[in-house]
Amino acid sequence: MATVEFQGISFDIDEDGFLQRFEDWCPEWVEYVKESEGIKDLTDEHQKVLDFLQDYYKKNGIAPMVRILSKVTGFKLKHIYELFPSGPGKGACKMAGLPKPTGCV
Amino acid sequence: MAFISAGYDPKHPMQDRITDIGPRKYDEFYPPVIAKNKGKWLYHEIIEPGMLMHKAESGDEVYTVRAGTARLCSVTYIREICDIADKYCGGHVRWTTRNNVEFMVEDLETAKALKEDLNNRKFDGGSHKFPVGGTGAGITNIVHTQGWVHCHTPATDASGTVKVVMDDLFEEFGAHNMPAPIRISMACCLNMCGAVHCSDIAILGYHRKPPIIDHEYLDNLCEIPLAVAACPMGAIRPSKHEMPDGKTVKSVAIKNERCMFCGNCYTMCPSLPLSDKEGDGLVIMAGGKISNRISNPKFSKVVVAFIPNEPPRWPTLSKVIRQIVDAYRTDARKYERLGAWAERIGWERFFEKCGLEFSEHLIDDFRDPAYYTWRQTTNFKW
Ligand code: HEM
Ligand code: SF4
Ligand code: SF4
């Protein structure tokens, strides 16, 4: 486990750059991650995806299926990739502070 | 090594990005004789083990020399294959669905010279680099998985066990001694990447202990409902766990007496590791096939409940496989796949002829369909 410092805050992360604890998430985390995820400017649309992922995770204990993410945000998968070039898992979930996707990924 | 850029600009990751171009089209790589006679083949012959001849309507012939590979290979090895292809085949070569390599030439003399050349190439340790064979009613390459080389859920090693079994059955790779082809496959956990569930003989990595629960990290690293839903036995439930420092964390509890060590929950949740040096080992399955020839496709069935992991040479494993192969070769009829043989003589005879012990582990106890695997008849042999 590594620790990174950003704007005076330290985050514990794993080798893939996912937060080790959801509670450690804060807006600075998004600022810190966005460059490595190929995002220049954070828009309202980015924020909408991140907010939904966090709400869903808090309520259900899991990340939503891609179809649920699309349905609720109204963003087609193609648009989610435009927002988060690494995709909903590696990009959006990482920025939202959710645990790393598992299974045969 | 110092960093050398390929031209990718990390400041502008999406700039000049090429995507969705798919694989190169297969016909770009056809040898000329294949391109010319595509869709117009009349018949084929197996000239000798490892060598096929296809005859086209035009009268053209193509001779294919098939050689075994280790599947896991270095660039150096691939370059040697390319050198051989350059020398004999105009730079053309192909890989088979069982990871053998095939070189194609247009006349028998070249094919024979090629076969001899391939059979003479050896590694420093003495192993053949390109043993010719894998055709007809013999034993061809073993379809296998990642094992300890790269995966995080294995209960055994793939490359190691496969090398051991192929060493032991090496003569059969370059011969046609069997009643029908024997397909051996290997998977290092019961995710069964590959073909173990539908092979004549299958080697499968198997755990015998329930997962260890890392309560401290579980809620941070795992989506708990996914771990619960991963379990085929309903052995996992969400729970609260009190840590030594008095803090209560969200975690899971596992009913060990319900767990049958599949490892699915670990696949979904990194805090439930279960691999274990003494616990882990191998299961052998037999009797599967995927072709429709005579009988329908079959699943392979468990015939050996446990063989310990014995790296690096897994002697018990190769002994057991040899027993099954020998019994089948001696007893089965021509064209009869291993599963068809076992079903004809009866599985009770299969165990007797192969000298395998039958234990309670082999009796299906998974849900309603288990019932159909028991014997609802008085038809059996003493
Ligand atoms: C407590 C006593 C018994 C129980 C619980 C019992 C139960 C059953 C059951 C569950 C079946 C299978 C029915 C099916 O295939 O759907 C069956 C079949 C049969 N039982 Fe019994 N049985 C009993 C006593 C007897 C006795 C005393 C006889 C004869 C004297 C008998 C003769 C048969 C026969 C001939 C069949 C076969 C019917 C067929 O071929 O479909 N049973 N029994
Ligand atoms: S069979 Fe299991 S352990 Fe082996 S490569 Fe597939 S998932 Fe990994
Ligand atoms: S190893 Fe398999 S059976 Fe055991 S608790 Fe995990 S998912 Fe359930």
CB-ligand 2 contact for B189 (6 Å cutoff): yes
Whose tokens are 């294995």? That residue is: B154
Give the pLDDT score at B50: 98
pLDDT digits (tens, 9 = 90+) for A24-43: 999 999 999 999 999 999 99
Instruction: For residue B268, report the distance from its CA to the centre of ligand 2, in Å.
Output: 14
Which band of pLDDT confidence, cut at 50, 70 and 90, is reported for residue B325?
very high
Catalytic, out of A8, A59, A104, A105: A104
Q: Say if A22 falls within a structural domain.
A: yes
- Residues A47-73 as b/e (b if ≥16 CB within 10 A, e otherwise) read eebbebbbebbeeebbbbeeeebbeeb
pLDDT digits (tens, 9 = 90+) for B217-237: 999 999 999 999 999 999 999
pLDDT above 90 covers a percentage of chain A that reads 97
Instruction: For residue B282, report the distance from its CA to the centre of ligand 3, in Å.
Output: 18
pLDDT digits (tens, 9 = 90+) for B114-158: 999 999 999 999 999 999 999 999 999 999 999 999 999 999 999
> Per the CB < 8 Å rule, is A21 touching B224?
no
Q: Say if A102 falls within a structural domain.
A: no
Asked if B14 reaches chain A (Cβ–Cβ under 8 Å), the answer is yes
Rounded CA gap, B318 and B339, in Å? 20
Is A93 designated active site?
Answer: no
Top residue of A62, A77, A86, A90 to mutate, by most chain B CBs within 10 Å, is: A62
Q: Is residue B51's pLDDT more than 80? A: yes
pLDDT digits (tens, 9 = 90+) for B53-91: 999 999 999 999 999 999 999 999 999 999 999 999 999
Q: Which domains does chain B have, with CATH numbers?
A: 26-120 (3.30.70.3340), 158-208+277-373 (3.30.413.10), 217-268 (3.30.70.20)
Which residues, 6 or more positions from B18, have their beta carbon under 8 angstroms from its beta carbon? none
The whole-model pTM stands at 0.85
Q: Which ligand neighbours the alpha carbon of B151 most closely?
A: 2
Domain count, chain A: 1
Pair A76, A33: CB distance under 8 Å: no
Which band of pLDDT confidence, cut at 50, 70 and 90, is reported for residue B324?
very high
What CATH number corresponds to the domain at position A82? 1.10.10.370
Which ipTM score applies to this complex? 0.94
> Closest by alpha carbon to B196, among B150, B155, B137, B135?
B155
Give the pLDDT score at A1: 76
Q: Domain limits at A13?
A: 2-96
Rounded CA gap, B307 and B200, in Å? 18
Strand partners, B206: B281
pLDDT above 90 covers a percentage of chain B that reads 100
Give the pLDDT score at B329: 98
Q: Measured at the alpha carbon of residue B343, what is the angle toward residues B341 and B346, in degrees to the nearest 5? A: 105
> Closest by alpha carbon to B317, among B142, B131, B96?
B142
CB-ligand 2 contact for B161 (6 Å cutoff): no
CB-CB neighbors (< 8 A) of A100 in chain B? 221
Instruction: For residue B144, report the distance from its CA to the centre of ligand 3, in Å.
Output: 24
> Per the CB < 8 Å rule, is B220 touching A63?
no
